[in-house]
A and B are shown apart, each in its own frame.
Chain A
Amino acid sequence: MKSLIGVYDLFNRQTNAYEDASLFEGIDEKNLQDFETHWIPLFHEAKPDEITRETILAANMEDAGWEWRKVESDIRDKKLLYEIFALECAGITQGLMLVNKLYSGKHPEHEGEYLIYVELVATAPWNRDRLVPSPVYSGVGRTLISTAISLSIDEEFKGRIGLHSLLGAETFYTNIGMTDLGKDEKKNGLRYFEMTEESATAFLKG
């Protein structure tokens, strides 16, 4: 079931103005339709001539194959384990996030302790610098990551989260205080990041 968590802001880079964005726990048909009818065509449009891992990475489209409808269907009865969040602005889905609520940390400060693992976090293609010439909204990723950290606190994991960053997003995760725990060869060589309790506090309150 989809429920409103609250209203936050996204920064419209074209108008230099903030706009209200609604953050939801759970997604519905509207979000899936947005993904299929608005996101996917843009991914197709920006598809490189030659499809290789390198060209897909360069175009910031590595997540284009994520099947959100299947994800939603797979986890529908697994709410104890997974949660999906959506961020909507200007009447359309601007970001989606899937989190796993049962994951053990690897950071030396909290090794073996539970954390919220961000399975997937994606911003709409029209907000991506390497994908479109004039990206629209900024702040989707930070708002969704703030949600994951908040959920971690609610779950008594003290703000700890973990994720595998897609290529090009490492700077953001380093900037927000997450620790780079290195390349994970089991996960396509993506770099694995974790946020400690201390970093989470700084992120939320600092």
Chain B
Amino acid sequence: MKMHISRDKLRRDIRQDVGLDTDAGIPIQDTGMLKLFVDSKDTRVGEKILQTETVELKHAFGTLIRQLRRERGLNIETLAAKLTIQVEELRAIEHDPNLDPRPRTIHKLAQFFKLPALELMKLSGVAETHDHSFSDQALKFAASSDDLSSLSKKERAILHAFVKFLSSQK
């Protein structure tokens, strides 16, 4: 990264801070986001299993985004333009379960499709989850969906049920 302040300015300004406290941040045990991460005892369960599950969740994530896009009658190029992201990135999100999507892109998708960003982050593998009911629902959704050019009535019902489940998560 690049600093956007000159060394001279910083050097001058720090003289104003003599005697002032500058510490910030809540105690670490209260940072909710960090609690989402796997702690060390969980990782001992089996890294390979976790990796497999993450790939499957990402598959569900790609399927979800693809179906929500199709439901709105949007092609990849149009949705990418609406989200101001690269077409290649959106295409990879939909089809490449090994991709690590950018958190900002996930937030844009969450805003556009009116879904909770945190749940999308879990689904996309950016934030990890060990909530088995969450994983089960996501995997069932992915398994029940195929890639037809337009959504069947059944696919639409499954999609809506999964969106409802995601939105109900805290």
List residues of A whose CB falls within 8 A of some B CB. Answer: 5-11, 13, 18, 23, 25, 60, 62-63, 65-67, 70-71, 73-75, 78, 80-81, 98, 100-102, 114, 118-123, 128-130, 135, 138-147, 149-151, 153-155, 159, 163-166, 168-169, 171-173, 175, 187-188, 190, 203-205
Contacts and interface: CB of A to CB of B under 8 A. Distances in A.
B103 A102 contact: yes
Interface residues of B, number: 39
Contacts of B27: 62-63, 65-66, 188
Given A150-B2, A150-B3, A120 B25 contact: yes
Q: What 4 pairs between A and B have smallest CB-CB spacing?
A: A141-B22, A139-B14, A120-B25, A169-B21
Given A119-B25, A169-B21, 10 more contacts: A5-B1, A11-B15, A65-B27, A80-B103, A81-B126, A146-B5, A150-B1, A172-B20, A175-B20, A204-B9
B4 A138 contact: no
A18 B11 contact: yes
B126 A80 contact: yes
25 contacts: A6-B3, A11-B18, A62-B23, A80-B102, A80-B126, A121-B22, A121-B25, A123-B22, A123-B23, A128-B21, A139-B10, A139-B14, A141-B23, A142-B10, A142-B17, A143-B14, A146-B3, A149-B4, A155-B104, A166-B21, A171-B21, A172-B20, A188-B30, A204-B5, A204-B9
Q: Which of A62, A78, A147, A173 has the most CB of B within 10 A?
A: A78
